[in-house]
Chains A and B, each alone.
Chain A
Amino acid sequence: MTSPRFPSASRAVPPATSVLLDGALTDVPAGVSIAAALALAGRRALRTSRPSGEPRAVFCGMGSCHECLVTVDGIRGVRACITPVAPGMRIDTQVKELSDEHR
């Protein structure tokens, strides 16, 4: 398992901000979308489909398809792709809930 390293278009390192990602304190670049922050944290699937429970991730990236829904500060159905991270934000994905249930 390699640690996630990403090709980057801009060389400058943006300021970081801390969010609570599925309960874990995580540093992410300030001002990026929740989707980008989750990707940077190495996360791919954000939710599972209904009824079959397939993993799903960002698809349209512009708020149209609703595949990237996450729970933010307790509010469900937030589109990760068009919502920016904010300091101290609590982001919960459905994927974690599911894997916990399966354990």
Chain B
Amino acid sequence: MSIARSEWAGDVLVVGAGPAGLAVAAELAGQGLSVLLADENQRPGGQIGRQRFLRSSQAGPDAAGHHDPMLHPGITYRPGTVCHGFRDGQQAFLTTPAGPMITRTRAVVLATGAAERVIPVPGWTLPGVMTVGAAQAFLKGSGLFPYRRVVVAGTGPLLLAAASQLVSAGVQVVRVVEAACPGLSRWRDAARLVAGAPLLAQGAGHLLSLARAGVFPRTGVGVQEIVGEDQVRGARLRRLRRDWSFADAPPELVECDAVLLSHGFSSVTDLASQLGADIEWDQQRQSWRPVRDQGLRTTAANVWAVGDCAGVGGAQLAELEGRLAGLLIAADLTGRPVRERRVRVLRRRIARLEVFRRGMDMLFAPGTGISGWHDGSTQVCRCQESTRADIDRALDDGVEDLHGLKLWTRAGMGPCQGRVCGPVLTAILASRGCDVSQLAPPRARFPVRPLSVAAVCDAAESCPPSTRKGMP
């Protein structure tokens, strides 16, 4: 089957149709600019708005209130579309369900969101171990969850939300364990920052519905090991100290067939990095992120980054950033004056949410003890099966950064391109005394997502010679 390459030329390419991407696209289109909105998923809304793939009149009660956001006619929306990388801030290579696509735009907005962070423990590659977000995707996307007895472990408010969703779907949640156990003084500092946020009420609601099901979340407990031969049979839970290292107390073996893990989120920076934008370490969020100016512009020409991919802050913050960037980019491209009043209002609301975020990050920041969670034979890189012992050996041999680890141990070289192991490798480096802020950031190269040779050929065959020379 030969698929012709398509081209799209317009004002702005927006990558990612979550809250940030939708907001920026709407703002730009509303000001008369042409926008291509590309997203890997089948429906707009991102992970937070994830739902059944097909609109179905028989989808039942959960279909009520779930509608795809109405897209402005100035937006060309391409679902199921992957952005593999850029030649520069104006030309991108994508694959759509209909074949490869090359775009030429005056500006690019990255709104690629975040990936869930999971700290490896022995047994974490067994079928039945997944991120908390993956369980939510099962529930939201199909209304089913394929396991019966579940342990939910990790850190952050997502644990409670997911556990209560599972309970209402009829799944038996046997334990919910939160690793963090903030001391009184930290609670006091954080409480000042998060006070009054609606999320607190939500959290209380989840706790209540869990209590009704007889589930009482515990704090300061982690998963020491997940046991099973070719699927999950149980989890060994153990008390954690304040720094998240395992306490001396004996572990408790809990029988279950699934373990859901979540230890926060890391910004997906691959496209920004591939574009040559400067990437920096964000100590508060324990994540890499693209450097941005006040106008949310990266250091790469014509490239902006908004939402979780530029610093995890949640859907509400992402949407506000998208609107702000939309206003500023529109002014930039049209030459019309910036709407100062709206910009001021948005900046004020963003600042308030960032204060709240600082409080949350303070409560749920992973402790340094996580570097002791994996034993020597635990795979740190799931794609290449590089173990903790491999990583330690490389570090003993003098490797001192992420790039070196990749070359020596192959960690980060697989299809996920380090999106899973990157945060873990960074934490291991930090635990060995490395100053992460001085570390060279992870570098992504074209294509940042696997690309079939056939797609490249399809694109090249129909390319004019000038383009063929330039496209990777």
Contact = CB atoms under 8 A, between A and B. Distances in A.
B61 A11 contact: yes
Q: How would you classify the secondary structure of chain B's contact residues: helix, strand, loop or mixed? A: loop
A89 to B, nearest CB: 13
Interface in B291-314: none
Interface residues of A, number: 47
A55 B134 contact: no
B40 interface: yes
A38 to B, nearest CB: 9
A40 B143 CA distance: 11
A43 B169 CA distance: 20
Contact of A82 (B42, B142, B414): B42
B138 A61 contact: yes
Nearest to B132: A61
Given A31-B52, A31-B53, A82-B42, A60 B116 contact: yes
Contact of B125 (A8, A30, A54, A64): A54
B269 interface: no
Interface size class of B (residues with CB under 8 A): 35 or more
Nearest to B268: A64
Given A59-B129, A61-B130, A84-B53, A10 B419 contact: no
A52 B385 CA distance: 8
Contacts of B452: 75, 77
A20 interface: no
A72 B271 CA distance: 27
Contacts of B407: none
A1 interface: no
A10 B61 contact: yes
A79 to B, nearest CB: 8
B115 A60 contact: yes
Interface string A45-60: 1000111101111111
A88 interface: no
B278 interface: no
A29 B148 CA distance: 20
Contacts of A12: 58-61
Given A49-B125, A55-B127, A60 B142 contact: no
**Which of A49, A56, A61, A82 has most chain B Cβ within 10 Å?**
A61
Interface string B412-441: 001110011000000000000000000000
A19 to B, nearest CB: 14
**Which of B63, B80, B231, B416 has most chain A Cβ within 10 Å?**
B416
B145 A55 contact: no
Given A50-B385, A66-B414, A31 B127 contact: no
A33 B141 contact: yes
Interface in B91-150: 115-116, 125-131, 133-139, 141-146, 148
A40 B382 CA distance: 25
B47 interface: yes
A60 B131 CA distance: 5
B144 A62 contact: no
Contacts of B7: none
B415 A69 contact: yes
A39 interface: yes
Shortest Cβ-Cβ A-B pairs, 4 listed: A61-B134, A12-B60, A31-B54, A7-B170
11 contacts: A10-B61, A10-B143, A14-B58, A32-B52, A55-B126, A55-B127, A56-B382, A57-B130, A61-B136, A64-B420, A84-B54
Interface of A: 4, 6-15, 29-33, 35-36, 39-40, 44-45, 49-52, 54-67, 69, 75, 77, 81-84
Interface of B: 40-42, 47, 52-54, 56, 58-63, 80, 115-116, 125-131, 133-139, 141-146, 148, 165, 168-171, 230-231, 268, 382-383, 385, 414-416, 419-420, 450, 452
